Structure 1
Amino acid sequence: MGSLGAILRHPSDFYPLMKLKMAASNAEKQIPPQPHWGFCYSMLHKVSRSFALVIQQLGTELRDAVCIFYLVLRALDTVEDDTSIPTDVKVPILKAFHQHVYDNEWHFSCGTKEYKVLMDQFHHVSTAFLELGKRYQEAIEEITKRMGAGMAKFICKEVETIDDYDEYCHYVAGLVGLGLSKLFHASGAEDLAPDSLSNSMGLFLQKTNIIRDYLEDINEIPKSRMFWPRQIWSNYVNKLEDLKYEENSEKAVQCLNDMVTNALTHVEDCLTYMSALRDPSIFRFCAIPQVMAIGTLALCYNNIEVFRGVVKMRRGLTAKIIDRTRTMADVYGAFYDFSCMLKSKVDKNDPNATKTLSRIEATQKSCRDAGLRNKRKSYILPSEPRYSFVPVLVLLIILAIFLAQFFASRSSNY
């Protein structure tokens, strides 16, 4: 749960955090008893706790397909991410990965921590994959094949232009959007979305991650991972790694703002995609990560801390997004509010200020034109009292109980 200090500063976070904790506990209790499915769902909770929660809300058949799709792509991504694997070994594995999912004896040791466990015991994932319906298998195989080929291409190619950047993000995330749309359609719950909109859903999330993870990627050992396109960063520094040095702080922030502005070009497509969804559980599954992405961009924009450490949303706000993203009105409201936050941070002297403001205003217009934005209360902008008596009182009671138990146990030890 969130830290005590964060909860005291944002007492309205307390209830959503408690709900999130209970939901996570309930989701873990629903792990299937079969060893291979048990492994898959346990691993899902380890590699992506918040993602696991929204998957758990899908119907059983679709939930299993999305779980396996996610784990297959996480495994594929683990191979791509491991900079210690020689290129001549890595490329053939990426290209053939769509075939390995049919072999319940295949595994490849790479990655670290939980990802190494996933790779060492990948046979559990393959066994579960073989139990899915044929339409689900075909969709997962197709996307895995296309993604593996695209990843292999960029192992030997740097991201030079913005077109390269879009192509790379298409292979590693846009195809995920296409694959999910195919799975939704295969379940009978949704119409098949246009590829361009599905692609934008993936690109918006991927570009947000690439922006946020600059420092982690550039400091990767034994070799830096560089995804920011040269066409953008070369306007500010001579080498991409120069952005992390304090003497380049002003240029670094300008480059960051340029990257955020590029990511915002996908917002309108994402809103169009989500507005067409009919199934409530699929809608939440798609909408929660998108709201998290626009919120993360608002935090990263004009923020030098992106080059100093980790910039991420406080856990209480994440809990609120998961709890309160239920309708398209919620999405429009959240996108509008985070756009307002972003707009308030734009420096008129920034070289991309005009372009950034244009993108923000286009987002806000889309939200206003929908006519749904005012149907919900903002939990993002400071429109509520800083302190709420009830959550603080409950928190103090819990703290008092904890302290009483702590001192009682200490007394019994003497």
Structure 2
Amino acid sequence: MFEPQLAPVASESGADAYQNAILPKVSRTFALTIPQLPPPLRRAVTNAYLLCRAADTIEDEPVFSAEEKRHYEIAFIDAVTGRIDPQCFAAELAPLLSQKTSEAERDLLSHLPLVLQVTQDLKPEQREAIVNCLKVMSHGMHDFQRNVGLQGLDTLRDMDCYCYCVAGVVGEMLTELLIDFDPALASQRETLMRLAVSFGQGLQMTNILKDQWEDYSRGVCWLPRDVFARHGARLGELQAGQQDANYASALTELIGVAHAHLRRALEYTLIIPAKHAGFRRFCLWSIGLAVLTLRKLQKNLDFSAGDQVKISRRAVAYTVAFTRLSGKNNTGLRWLFAAAARKLPLTPLSAEWSASAHAHLIWPKSAIPYFAETA
């Protein structure tokens, strides 16, 4: 399987054109934020996002068994690293994707060789950051997807680890790409890396809370069972539109946790020098949209579908406008964040999370042996 063969070669401009064309079809948010980055960084981040999306598509494909997902995830990493021919991999995988996978995602997997042409043209340091991220993400997603159900995750710590695997590690990768772009930031690496995990978790938790009922309809729940049990709610018994005060209390606590992580995301952004206005906008717009989503969630704790807490185009436009005006002023940005988040609950992060529960201390070490099996 995946025997090497000569593949059609497209020009670099054709590969870049495909990246730019497919991005808005697979993500509205990142199609808004990534273009704010300076061109060398924009190209690498676009490529990284599309590869992460491809990995996520494999893991989410409902017709694949757990064994098939693991097989294709390992093969995907092999295609990214050049150990197998990506044309053969794409030709085998793409036709197997069901109609439950979006047309844009199927198109992305079909054109994986084009995306990987850009990957191979990146600097070695950029490729290394992307590959390391994909290894942790693919392993972590598989490990969690294999055991998740309507009963939810066991604990909030498990949710932390899941958020790291699908988002925190992406924050670390973006930080590596940023430091490669501006080596002067290397002196801040440790602080940036720590805050990058919170950045990823804040955004991912917001998505989990917003999309919980769509996930529930697919037989999946990423919420922590211990938090809901403490408030007297049972995840396995929840029904959209029939939540009670106990559920609302637990959800409020989790909104507060996401808020706490987004505060750290703001601190991450403010470390970045104002001269990197594009990178700041990339961060600030994501943070702003997440805060507004949390506000809608808090006002609609009895919601039954993600569309009910979706922020409006006008709110997006206001976020873009206000952050543009204040983008270089740290004091102004702190005030803007405080004003947007003033009615949100705030749940202090546990001492365990702050001291040692960063999932990045756990997952990368376990991810490498997983992929070493195919070495």
Q: 1:95 to 1:330 in 2, by over 3 A?
A: farther
Q: 1:128 to 1:358 in 2, by over 3 A?
A: closer
Q: 1:277 to 1:231 in 2, by over 3 A?
A: same
**In 2, are the aligned partners of 1:56 and 1:63 still within 8 Å (CA)?**
yes
1:312 match: 310
RMSD: 2.2
**In 2, are the aligned partners of 1:96 and 1:148 still within 8 Å (CA)?**
no
The answer on 1:289 being equivalent to 2:286 is: yes
Query: What CA distance in whole angstroms lies between the structure 1 residues aligned with 2:155 and 2:182?
Result: 39
**In 2, are the aligned partners of 1:139 and 1:179 still within 8 Å (CA)?**
yes
2:208 match: 210
Query: What CA distance in whole angstroms lies between the structure 1 residues aligned with 2:63 and 2:340?
Result: 39
Q: 1:173 is matched with which residue: 158, 167, 172?
A: 167
Q: 1:133 is matched with which residue: 119, 123, 135?
A: 123
Query: What CA distance in whole angstroms lies between the structure 1 residues aligned with 2:75 and 2:21?
Result: 26
1:338 match: 340
Q: 1:238 is matched with which residue: 219, 234, 244?
A: 234
TM-score, structure 1 length as denominator?
Answer: 0.70
- Amino acid of the structure 2 residue aligned with 1:296: T
Q: 1:309 to 1:157 in 2, by over 3 A?
A: closer
Q: 1:269 is matched with which residue: 254, 261, 264?
A: 264
Percent identity of equivalent pairs: 28
1:70 match: 49
Q: 1:303 to 1:178 in 2, by over 3 A?
A: same
The answer on 1:58 being equivalent to 2:37 is: yes
Query: What CA distance in whole angstroms lies between the structure 2 residues aligned with 1:260 and 1:339?
Result: 11
Q: 1:330 to 1:114 in 2, by over 3 A?
A: farther
Q: 1:125 to 1:316 in 2, by over 3 A?
A: same
Q: How does 1:368-387 map to 2 (within 5 A)?
A: none
Unmatched runs of 5 consecutive residues or more in structure 2: 1-10, 350-375
The answer on 1:91 being equivalent to 2:66 is: no
2:157 match: 163
Question: 1:297-331 CA deviation, whole Å, 9 max, x = no partner?
Answer: 11101513532452111111101212321233453
Query: What CA distance in whole angstroms lies between the structure 1 residues aligned with 2:61 and 2:306?
Result: 21
Q: How far apart are 1:270 and its partner, in Å?
A: 1.6
**In 2, are the aligned partners of 1:205 and 1:293 still within 8 Å (CA)?**
yes
2:353 match: none
Query: What CA distance in whole angstroms lies between the structure 1 residues aligned with 2:346 and 2:178?
Result: 35
**In 2, are the aligned partners of 1:214 and 1:306 still within 8 Å (CA)?**
no
Unmatched runs of 5 consecutive residues or more in structure 1: 1-31, 343-355, 361-414
Q: Which stretches of structure 1, 4 residues or more, deviate above 6 A after TM superposition?
A: none
Query: What CA distance in whole angstroms lies between the structure 1 residues aligned with 2:346 and 2:32?
Result: 35
After alignment, is 307-316 or 184-193 more displaced?
Answer: 184-193
1:260 match: 255
1:369 match: none
**In 1, are the aligned partners of 2:29 and 2:286 still within 8 Å (CA)?**
no
**In 1, are the aligned partners of 2:164 and 2:200 still within 8 Å (CA)?**
yes
Query: What CA distance in whole angstroms lies between the structure 2 residues aligned with 1:147 and 1:239?
Result: 26
Query: What CA distance in whole angstroms lies between the structure 2 residues aligned with 1:312 and 1:112?
Result: 20
Query: What CA distance in whole angstroms lies between the structure 1 residues aligned with 2:285 and 2:306?
Result: 25
**In 2, are the aligned partners of 1:291 and 1:334 still within 8 Å (CA)?**
no
The answer on 1:145 being equivalent to 2:135 is: yes
Query: What CA distance in whole angstroms lies between the structure 1 residues aligned with 2:184 and 2:316?
Result: 27
**In 2, are the aligned partners of 1:161 and 1:231 still within 8 Å (CA)?**
yes
TM-score, structure 2 length as denominator?
Answer: 0.77
Question: 1:7-50 CA deviation, whole Å, 9 max, x = no partner?
Answer: xxxxxxxxxxxxxxxxxxxxxxxxx9822211111001211234
Q: 1:187 is matched with which residue: 181, 200, 204?
A: 181
**In 2, are the aligned partners of 1:96 and 1:145 still within 8 Å (CA)?**
no
- Amino acid of the structure 2 residue aligned with 1:104: P
The answer on 1:251 being equivalent to 2:250 is: no
SS at match of 2:63: coil
Q: Which has the larger radius of gyration?
A: 1
Figure out how many residues of one structure are paired with residues of the other and give that number.
Answer: 312
Q: 1:340 to 1:269 in 2, by over 3 A?
A: closer
Q: 1:226 to 1:175 in 2, by over 3 A?
A: same
Question: 1:374-395 CA deviation, whole Å, 9 max, x = no partner?
Answer: xxxxxxxxxxxxxxxxxxxxxx
After alignment, is 228-237 or 71-80 more displaced?
Answer: 228-237
Q: 1:229 is matched with which residue: 213, 221, 224?
A: 224
- Amino acid of the structure 1 residue aligned with 2:129: A
Q: How far apart are 1:264 and its partner, in Å?
A: 2.4
